[in-house]
Amino acid sequence: PAARAAGPGLEERLFQQVRDHFSFETCGNETFPQRYLVSAKFWKKGFGPIFFYTGNEGDIWTFAQNSDFIFELAEEEQALVIFAEHRYYGKSLPFGLESTQLKKTGLLTVEQALADYAVLITELKQQYGAADCPVIAFGGSYGGMLSAYMRMKYPNIVAGALAASAPLLSVAGLGDPTQFFRDVTADFQKSSPGCVTAVRKAFQQIKDLCLSGAYDEISSKMATCNKISNKEDVYQLFGFARNAFTMMAMMDYPYKTDFMGHLPANPVKVGCEQILAHTDPVQGLAALVGVFYNSSGSAQCYDIYQLYQSCADPTGCGIGSDAEAWDYQVCTEINLTFNSNNVTDMFPEMPFTEAMREQYCWRKWHVRPRAHWLRTNFWGGDLKSASNIIFSNGDLDPWAGGGINSSLSPSLIALTIKGGAHHLDLRGPNPADPPSVTEVRKLEASIINGWVKSAGMERAREKRSGASAGGWL
């Protein structure tokens, strides 16, 4: 696997990680193999900093293959690069293939994941003879939340953090539940105002067909593999379609990508062109969602229950065991009660209340969400006592509205990328990049360089005064 086309010189390794950091009983002394990727290609041994990617909800290779900025910066800073996989995702499974079964999910928390990273960093520093090397945490999206939390919870271990597109406020239940789909709509509106009108018309026609019982017509125009035969199927169709818009807005990069699905350059623009090229809005909608669901162009029909599985995250969980793990996380600590209402957005009215979430999570996982816990444990919006965190957001990214968009102090810096989608800044440079992201990457590089330097000076001071230590006691 080390040969996979990801950043320079990455090798896959396993670390025997503690299963339960917060108990000394049964699981506390048991371990599981946690996967991490490491590259010492640019490292100035014993001196260069450590760049640590706090893995998020998926296979760690996916993030390593889409974060070339970290390697570019590592070359400049002569850094050791580590990408750590989040517990319960990819191959880092505390209970093997049974990890996402009922009763095995209890150790899937943000707190356990951060403790994994703290322990892993501490051990690897020792292994590599890197005791004096400052650590900078990097992450995008949920991974960006984790990199910020690492700096907040373990400032003794992490000297600074780049939290790219990290929706710290919305996940804590702060902010407006209509914001997300309003911003997805705004992306399509910006691309072409006629697009939103056509989308609204398509959804309205499906609703009308549904009310008159014309399910066959919906099925044939939307090209579903199985006949749509009741209101539940239509609701699933709405969720399936809305999810395509979400993914296209998040991944609205100016060049083609294979990050979360295979998408063309500027997918929002391409999607709008598709719907506007059809005289029948519903057939146009089928073509638009195909930009995401049928990128190969070879699918004859859409299996709407297979391609989209509704879960406790209205922006989508994906499919497979990683999706199950994420569903559990959004049923416990992470709050994503976004809804669409067909007024402030172009989507059908699809409520997702706290009560609906509670009911779903109890039925599926036998857990009750703790809506306020993240605010208590990770400070909600009151972050001013933290330091050395960059919060970057792209103005095309529907997640940006739930993140930190203005600086909170001279060392809690918010940066906005004009024309940037979901954590574009973590990606490597590309000729199609908007000028804004090039500027932001430069700024991030210089801020991080400052953190590395001052951490080095701090260490040197400690060593000098170490000789006369005890002055404090």
Count the residues in the chain: 473
DSSP 8-state class, residue 425: G
How far is Cα 261 from Cα 274, in angstroms, rounded to an integer?
18
Q: How far apart are CA 113 and CA 449, in angstroms?
A: 27
Catalytic residues: 141, 397, 422
Phi, psi of 404 (to 5 degrees): -90, 115
Backbone angles phi, psi at 268, to 5 degrees: -65, -45
State the DSSP string of 136-189. Answer: EEEEETHHHHHHHHHHHH-TTT-SEEEEET--HHHHTT-S-TTHHHHHHHHHHH
Partners of 36 in the beta sheet? 13, 84
CA distances to 8, 124, 241, 243, 287 from 237, in Å: 42, 48, 6, 10, 14
- Run of H or E including 114: helix 110-127
Contacts by residues 454-459 (CB-CB < 8 Å, ≥ 24 positions apart):
455/49, 455/134, 455/159, 455/160, 456/134, 459/132, 459/134
Q: Which amino acid is at 329?
A: Q
